[in-house]
Structure 1
Amino acid sequence: MANQKKTRREVADQLRNQQKRADKRQGLIIVGACVAIAVLIVGLAAFRPIKDWWDLRQYNDLEIGDIGAKADTCSPIITKKATGNQEHVGADVEVDYPEAPPAFGKHEDTWDPMGRKLYTKDDRPDTERLVHNLEHGYTILWFRNIERNSEEYDDLRAIADRLKGDSNMRTKFKAVEWDDADGEWLDGGNPWKDAEGNEIDTSDMKVAFTHWSKGGEDVDVSDVEKQVGAWQFCGTVSGAALNDFMIEYPYLDSPEPSGG
């Protein structure tokens, strides 16, 4: 009988030891999985800056004017009389702009902070908010049909990198992917024409620069009748054309240059 009790005790001890070993193995598996996940998260966080550096290394010694295509891939600059100065709407209001993309008009009462320079259509601010940025002197490069992991997109990233920062007002710039939900791309010209009245073919244009001008740097901001919107269209990304456009229309040439 004693031997039988001892055997039962030994069996119980053996089962307990087996359970402890199983619990220990399970604990090690859980710890190992957590460590692996943590390493993966850290690795992914480190991978993005490294990949960005690798992808953009070819641009290290280039100025904006040397990035992308030559300026002659772009149309002449087009201007139209501007409206909407200081006309604010709520964040939930959709404005029907006559041109797509817009260069002026009614806009949200807040603007997008200066720090972020490049947006896709998946994470970009509303058009109404970006028009407020235009009122504050930004140049916006709108783009469409430019694939990720393409040389054109790398050109955009490199330009955004050259204009990074939020303290130098001369870098009031954003590159924003156009969302077709906001209107038909490059619609509103009917057709678009240059200063001499010549029609501009926009069928293959992937890029549009826009700026809200007060009518010239020397124009008093109170003279709203002189305000114009400016557009320029390009078949691909052209840092040279963008550089010329931003020289022609600096942030000071805007209805409210001190904001934003």
Structure 2
Amino acid sequence: MAKKKQTPRAGADRKARVEELKRQQKAAERRKTFLFGGVGILIAATLIAIPVVSIVNKDKEKKRAFEELGVPTALAACDTTQTDKVGANDGDHENDPSVKIDYDTAPPSHGRHFAAPATINSRGFYSKSDAPRLEELVHNLEHGYNIVFYDPDAVTGQQLDDLKTLAAKFRDDNATRKFIAVPWDASRGKFPTGKTIAMAHWGAPKEDGDYSTSTGYRQYCGQVSGGAIRAFVQAHPSSDSPEPNTM
């Protein structure tokens, strides 16, 4: 049987169908490219946005007024500031890092201490996992630091977040940068009942070089209060200390 001859019309139709299939295939490939590209852009934008949002939120936290952090001063259940008598030899150094020094108060506001103070991180805040030794921190007190010791079992959640923000705010200001917030180890002594934070400062001697004429200061509060902590820091600047010109 003779092969049926293809007409020009049939050939044109076939060519048109082939071209349409190619056009549809290219369109589908373009859609895939746009889809994957869009997803990639979305992922990249999200990865960029996360740290930016975090930085913005942290900046907003730092800009909150001291009185907005923690509870109002009137609700913080703060005791009046206590004064401690300092001994003539309380500026002495202990060179053996294995020694545990016993202090008369919890926390101490003065006393014999290790030869080197703690090197303070940029945050001015510590948890139980990275807290410096108490004997180091007493040396920081001698250098003019205000230290907030907090009960890690009681100061949690929003109070803990507010304390972190307070530490950052104080550290960002040259006038108050000698500030530390650190967890208190209850094995070194107990806070008064109902108190969860204790502020400490070592005042300057009234007679140069005679530590017995200096004074230690302590104040206990029942809750974190930006207003109360700021008032203590303002009342006891780093310049009022035995060694204010050291780090």
Q: What TM-score does the superposition give when structure 2 sets the normalisation length?
A: 0.70
Counterpart residue number, 1:98:
104
Aligned counterparts, 1:1-260, within 5 A: 54=57, 56=58, 59-72=61-74, 73=76, 74-83=78-87, 84-89=89-94, 90-116=96-122, 117-144=124-151, 145-148=153-156, 150-165=157-172, 168=174, 170-181=176-187, 183-186=188-191, 202-214=192-204, 219-260=206-247
Preserved CA contact (<8 Å) 2:109 2:200? yes
Query: Do the aligned partners of 1:85 and 1:135 also contact (CA within 8 Å) in 2?
Result: no
Q: Secondary structure at the match of 1:118?
A: coil
SS at match of 2:116: coil
Change (3 A) 1:151 1:228: same
Contact 2:62 2:169 in 1 (8 A): no
Structure 2, unpaired ranges of 5+: 1-46
Distance 1:208 1:136 in 2: 18
- Residue identity opposite 2:165 in structure 1: A
8 A Cα contact 1:146 1:153, kept in partner: no
Whole-Å Cα distance in 2 between the matches of residues 52 and 205 of structure 1?
33
Report the Cα distance in structure 2 between the residues aligned to 1:60 and 1:162, rounded to whole angstroms: 6
TM-score (norm 1): 0.67
Distance (Å, rounded) in 2 between the aligned partners of 1:49 and 1:88: 46
- How far off its partner does 1:57 sit? 6.3
Return 5+ residue gaps in structure 1 as ranges.
Answer: 1-42, 187-201
Q: 1:162 to 1:235 in 2, by over 3 A?
A: same
Partner-residue secondary structure (3-state), 1:155: helix
| Percent of aligned pairs sharing the same letter | 30
Letter in 2 for 1:227: S
AA of the residue aligned to 1:146: A
Verify the 8 A CA contact 1:85 1:224 in the aligned structure 2.
yes
Counterpart AA for 1:158: T
Q: Is the 8 A contact 1:59 1:67 kept in 2?
A: no
Tell me how far apart the structure 1 counterparts of residues 242 and 116 of structure 2 sit (CA, whole Å): 15
- Contact conserved, 2:114 with 2:139, CA < 8 A, in 1? yes
- TM-fit CA distance, 1:180: 2.4
Q: Partners of 1:93 and 1:169 in 2: how far apart?
A: 34
Superposed displacement of residue 68, structure 1: 1.4
Q: Indicate conservation of the 8 Å contact 1:104/1:212, yes or no.
A: yes
SS of residue paired to 1:153:
helix
CA RMSD in angstroms comes to 2.5
CA deviations on 1:99-131 (whole Å, 9 max, x unpaired) are 111111110100112434000111101000000
Which structure: larger Rg? 2
Deviations 1:18-67 (A, max 9, x none): xxxxxxxxxxxxxxxxxxxxxxxxx8xx978865764x566343232432
Q: How many residues align?
A: 194
User: Structure 2 vs 1, CA of residues 142 and 99 (structure 1 numbering), >3 Å: closer, same or farther?
Assistant: same
Offset at residue 205 of structure 1 (A): 0.7
